[in-house]
């Protein structure tokens, strides 16, 4: 209770006030900006976390990636990315180009 009094005293000394509807007193945790803030932890709100799907492809000239999310059982694009291969990368085998696309896309969208 003393801590609470000191908070209100500091607010008053700075001519500030607290809106009671926005005060969370005696809660063990609360949600702030999409995160659960507790006395001993900070974690993302599980209701706000959506699964991302990463699709990649490679050709002889370039690599590409699409970042997707499911919304109401419909896969929607979040972001697209592509890149032209360097001359040395064009010499990679097909599987190496596909792997390059995956590694590059993860780095791009991290």
Q: List the one residue out of 87, 84, 81 whose CA is nearest residue 68.
A: 81
Only one residue has tokens 């609470």, namely 4
Q: Is 89 helix (H, G, I), strand (E, B) or coil?
A: helix
**Cα gap 92→61, rounded to integer Å:** 11
Q: In tens digits, what is the pLDDT along the chain, a chain of 110 residues?
A: 788 888 888 999 999 988 888 887 778 888 888 888 888 888 888 877 888 999 999 999 999 999 999 988 899 999 999 999 999 999 999 999 999 999 999 999 98
- Residue 68: what pLDDT? 96
Structural domains in the chain plus CATH codes:
2-46 (no CATH), 52-109 (3.10.20.370)
Q: List the one residue out of 49, 74, 65 whose CA is nearest residue 107.
A: 65
- Residue 91: what pLDDT? 98
Report phi then psi at 88, rounded to 5. -70, -35
């Amino acid at each position: 209770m003393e801590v609470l009094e000191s908070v209100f005293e500091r607010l008053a000394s700075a001519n500030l006030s607290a809106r009671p509807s926005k005060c969370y007193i005696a809660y063990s945790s609360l949600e702030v900006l999409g995160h659960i803030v507790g006395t001993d932890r900070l974690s993302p709100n599980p209701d706000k976390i959506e699964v991302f799907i990463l699709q990649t492809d490679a050709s002889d000239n370039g690599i590409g990636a699409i970042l997707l999310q499911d919304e109401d059982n419909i896969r929607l694009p979040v972001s697209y990315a592509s890149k032209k291969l360097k001359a040395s990368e064009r010499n990679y085998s097909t599987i190496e180009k596909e792997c390059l696309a995956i590694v590059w896309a993860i780095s791009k969208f991290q």
